[in-house]
Chains A and B, each alone.
Chain A
Amino acid sequence: AQSVSQHNHHVILSEAASLELGCNYSYGGTVNLFWYVQYPGQHLQLLLKYFSGDPLVKGIKGFEAEFIKSKFSFNLRKPSVQWSDTAEYFCAATATSGTYKYIFGTGTRLKVLA
């Protein structure tokens, strides 16, 4: 069955700490992968996405993610977090054809302490 798992449900970091959020997927066939962020009281915003090509993807706000096919992973990273990065982060996967519906991970709630 298709699935996306995020191992860290809650993460607390101090400002300037480095961040890595795990995401693993189980999918038959080729996938497109996404990270979305939901700031408190706001809608989901696209941070970055991977379709093909360079497995290291750079997104907005200094985030990046690396697609490692052999590990079925698409981990999100940021070298130095800020208080404003406090939010919930969702990993999602979708097939490259067909219904295009997303499978979401359970989300990781990040709190950055000032």
Chain B
Amino acid sequence: GAVVSQHPSRVICKSGTSVKIECRSLDFQATTMFWYRQFPKQSLMLMATSNEGSKATYEQGVEKDKFLINHASLTLSTLTVTSAHPEDSSFYICSARDNRGANTQYFGPGTRLTVL
């Protein structure tokens, strides 16, 4: 149980295009999901907290107009990187907190974004 999927696993795009990444909780409902960036050989940096039915909460320094988050259902959150640039290339990871309690996040496998 407690499986989180992400799609796509890899994406390569041209500078200036937008990319959407999906995060799904497969066997549980998640009112709250989280989006992270992980740079090579570094820890995870929380970008934003995604709340079902309400606006996402962004961490300091994260541009909300660049990283659009939509959490339209209890099992799906999407992150759209708008007008992507090479500096947005990174590994994006989502996690989901199970609504059944147990204050635990379950992580997706990540999405490798490369912007040319």
Binding site for B on A (CB under 8 A): 32, 34, 36, 42-46, 49, 51, 90, 94, 96, 99-102, 104-107, 109
Contacts and interface: CB of A to CB of B under 8 A. Distances in A.
Contacts of B49: 99, 101
Nearest to B59: A101
Given A105-B43, A107-B43, A42 B106 contact: no
B43 A43 contact: no
B97 interface: yes
B78 to A, nearest CB: 18
A44 B103 contact: no
Contact of A44 (B32, B42, B46, B107): B107
20 contacts: A32-B103, A34-B104, A42-B109, A43-B109, A43-B110, A44-B44, A44-B93, A45-B107, A46-B104, A46-B106, A49-B104, A51-B103, A90-B43, A94-B103, A100-B97, A100-B103, A101-B49, A102-B46, A106-B43, A107-B43
Interface residues of B, number: 21
B108 to A, nearest CB: 6
A64 B10 CA distance: 34
B70 interface: no
Main secondary structure of the interface of B (DSSP, over half): strand
Contacts of B103: 32, 51, 94, 96, 100
A43 B93 contact: yes
Interface string B16-45: 000000000000000010100000011110
A89 B42 CA distance: 11
Contacts of B57: 99
B105 interface: yes
Query: Most chain-A Cβ atoms within 10 A of its Cβ — which of B44, B93, B107, B109?
Result: B44
A99 B106 CA distance: 16
A45 B93 CA distance: 13
Query: Most chain-B Cβ atoms within 10 A of its Cβ — which of A36, A43, A49, A104?
Result: A43
A68 to B, nearest CB: 20
